[in-house]
Structure formats: structure tokens, C-alpha cells
Amino acid sequence: MELDERNKKVLQAVIDSYIASGSPIGSTVLVRQYDFGVSSATVRNIMAELEEGGYLTHPHTSAGRVPTDLGYRYYIDSLISIENDTDDIEDQLRQTPPPHKGDIQELMEEASRFLATLSHCAGVVIAPSEPEGQYKHIEFVRLRGKEALIIFVTGTGTVQNKLIELDEHISQQELNYFGSYLDEQLQQWSLHEIRQRLVDKMREERLGFTQLMEETYRASQEVQGRDAEKVYIGGASQILENPEFASVERMRSLFKAFEDKFKLLKLLDRSAAAEGIKVFIGAENPYFEMQGCSLVVSNYRVGKNVVGTLGVIGPTRMQYKQVIHVVDYTSKLLSKLLGERFQGSLEK
């Protein structure tokens, strides 16, 4: 269904007004607030058309109109760019202290809180996966008995470690030897390649470190995914400020959903592939059965590589314009902050 210019204007007005007030919008209120140059009766007719088109609904006969998911969709896709009054949020952006450098974990936590504070919704950040899994250094440390620790240091300064158990009784010297052997290899090869080469080496040469290699291989695989699995949720209580979550039942299910971070991960990961900002409205969210929630997601990158996802979860009735702006800003900010760290490692 095509919308003519006037209908668009009314739809936008209804949604803007509804987002601002939270209660259904009636024709009289609308003409008083916006100046369409027509009477409320005409607006009523237009609204009826929009309802027929599926953009608006009625909670009940004698109530005003409320946007549907489709309405929001249209709003996001076609209407939101018409005007660009994001000055107020721009101010807030400048006033809110940005996440600062430090521990990667802290950075992620702060970023999620940053998102939450500015959007008044829950902020979500998925930790960066190491780009191409380049390691700068691999270290073996003997612990008691058969146990040893493999330490992976990435170019970004992230350190991962994994406890392994060795069958044979390998001395620290031997471990050091193997470690420096690996280090040498690391000068040329990415983790992915090393994995391959390790397996190859194991077949052709019968090195004494067969088992150790095998363990290292496994450990690197596990360690690889570990960071990427981390989901940081900040300011979840922000979302409760919203009147639509006044019902205890909804609140509870929302928080249950937050606790199941794995699902969230899947949800966000799904959108990581595409470029730019994505908005998922209400029932469009596949894994997130929570009704009445929207999602604004983007991803952040280092250089050309997308390394992580971040976004905002809030009620369907959220301040899309501002939230989109905030998410966009944060993703660029995070990319920049991470870029400063990664730079060195890429020129290795």
C-alpha cells in the first residue's frame, strides 16, 4: 500500500506523539499539536486508512491510535530521516563520560553502561572476537603434577589461558623449548594457519611434542571462542523506567531473558553480518520471544574487520531517533578506542 504525502505526515505525527506520550493518540489532540491544515474529522479518516493499511491499531473502540510493528517499520525505514533534530541527544553525548581505555572487560562493561545511560534502555555489548586469531606469544607454565597452563597473548594485549593436563612428565625446560618454537612460528603464521601446520607437522615429522601440540591446538580453539561468548548487559534496570514494563509478569520474563545470555548472543550475532545499524521491531526478533521489545544493533570493527556487536534493547515504544544515533555513535567510538589498541598488532 502506497502512502501519499499527507498520510505519511500523519503517520509520523502519530508515532512521534505516541513515542513521546506513551498513550494512544486521538485525532483532536493530533491536530492541536501538529498543524496539518485539515480538521480532526479528516485526520480521523486518514487514520482509518492507515489502520486499514496495518500501520496503526486501536486498543479499543473509543481509544486513540497506536502504531503497529509495521507502522514502526515504515517509520524507521522511510520517515525517520526526514527531519534530523538530534541536537539534544548530541549534547548528552558530549556530557556523558565516554568509556575509557583500560582492561578490555572494563571497556566492554563501560560501553554497555554508556549505551544504557544515553538510551534509557538496556545496553548490550558482545566482546570482540580476536581478528584472525593472531597471537603474539604463547607461553607454557608448569603447575603441580601433570598440570600445565597455556597462556595465549594476542596482539591486542588480551591474555587468555587454559589449564591442561599432560600425560607425560614434561619438564619446564621442554615446555620452554616448545614455547619458543611456537613463538618463532608465530612470527609468520596466523593462528588459523598454525592450527593447520600443527596438524600437518604432527603427521609428517614425528615430533616428541605430539600430545602437547594436540593440547595446544584444542586449547587455542577453546580460547578462541571464549571471549566472543561474553555478553555484557548494562543498565538493565533502565528499561524498567518505562511504563510499559509496569506489569510484574513482563518484567520478570524480560529479566529471565537477560539471564539467558546465550540466547541473547545468538540474537545479536544473527545481525552481525549485515552492515550498519539494524533495527528489529517487536515480533521481528526471532529468538527473543519477549513481546513488545525492540532492538537497535550495530557492530564495531577494527580496521575493516567486524569484531563485535553492540546494541540497545528497549520497549517497542522507544526513542528510535535518539537511540539509533547513540548506537551509531557508540559503535564508532568503540571502534576508535579498539583501533588504537589494535593498530600495533596489525603492523606486526
Partner DNA sequence: TATTAGCACTCTAGTAATGTGAGTGCTAAT
Partner DNA sequence: ATTAGCACTCACATTACTAGAGTGCTAATA
Query: Does position 248 bind a second copy by CB under 8 A?
Result: yes
Read off the amino acid at residue 229: E
Q: Which residue has the cell 600443527?
A: 198
Residue 44 binding result from DNA, a second copy, none, given CB thresholds of 5 to 8 Å by partner type: DNA
Q: Given candidates 26, 123, 155, 314, which one binds a second copy under the rule CB under 8 A?
A: 155
Cα–Cα distance, 175 to 168 (Å, whole number): 12
The residue type of 218 is R
The residue ranges that bind DNA (CB under 7 A) are: 24-29, 37-42, 44-45, 47-48, 51, 58-65
* H or E stretch covering 176: helix 172-186
Q: Would you count residue 246 as binding a second copy (CB under 8 A)?
A: yes
- Residue 151 contacts a second copy per CB under 8 A: yes
Provide the minimum distance between the beta carbon of 247 and a second copy in the complex, in angstroms, as a whole number: 8
What is the per-residue binding string for a second copy in 161-200, x denoting contact by CB under 8 A?
A: x-x-------------------------------------
| 92 touches, from a second copy, DNA, none (C-beta below 5 to 8 Å by class) | none
The minimum distance between CB 20 and DNA, in angstroms, equals: 13
CB atoms within 10 A of CB 2: 6
Q: Minimum CB separation from a second copy for residue 171, in Å?
A: 15
Shortest Å distance, C-beta 320 to DNA? 22
| Stretch near a second copy under the rule CB under 8 A, chosen from 28-36, 64-72, 329-337, 340-348 | 340-348
Cell of 307: 569484531
Would you tell me how many other CB atoms lie within 10 Å of the CB of residue 25? 25
CB within 8 A of 60, min separation 6: which ones? Answer: none
Q: Which of 240, 272, 290, 333 binds a second copy (CB under 8 A)?
A: 240
Rank residues 83 and 259 by Cβ distance to a second copy and give the closer one: 259
In terms of Cα–Cα distance, which of 172, 169, 166 is closest to 213? 166
- Using CB under 8 A as the binding criterion, the count of chain residues that bind a second copy stands at 35
Half-sphere exposure of 169 (CA within 13 A, CB side): 2
- Closest to DNA by CB, 23 or 176: 23
The backbone torsions φ and ψ at residue 252, rounded to the nearest 5 degrees and listed phi first, read -65, -45
State how far the Cα of 234 lies from the Cα of 71, in Å rounded to an integer: 29
Task: Answer yes or no whether residue 139 interacts with a second copy by CB under 8 A.
Answer: yes
Which one, 59 or 157, has the nearer CB to a second copy?
157
- Look at residues 308, 300, 280, 320 and name the one whose alpha carbon lies nearest to residue 128: 308
Give the SS3 label for residue 309: strand
Q: Please give the residues from 46 up to 105 whose contact with a second copy meets the rule CB under 8 A.
A: none
Residue among 99, 78, 76 at smallest CA distance from 2: 78
Give the C-alpha separation, 158 to 129, whole Å.
11
User: 34 vs 177, which CB is nearer to a second copy?
Assistant: 177
Contact partner, 47, from a second copy, DNA, none, Cβ < 5-8 Å per class: DNA
Cα–Cα dist 103/87, whole Å: 32
Residues that bind a second copy (CB under 8 A): 136-137, 139, 141, 143-145, 147, 149, 151, 153, 155, 157, 159, 161, 163, 235-237, 240-241, 245-246, 248, 251-252, 255-256, 258-259, 343-345, 347-348
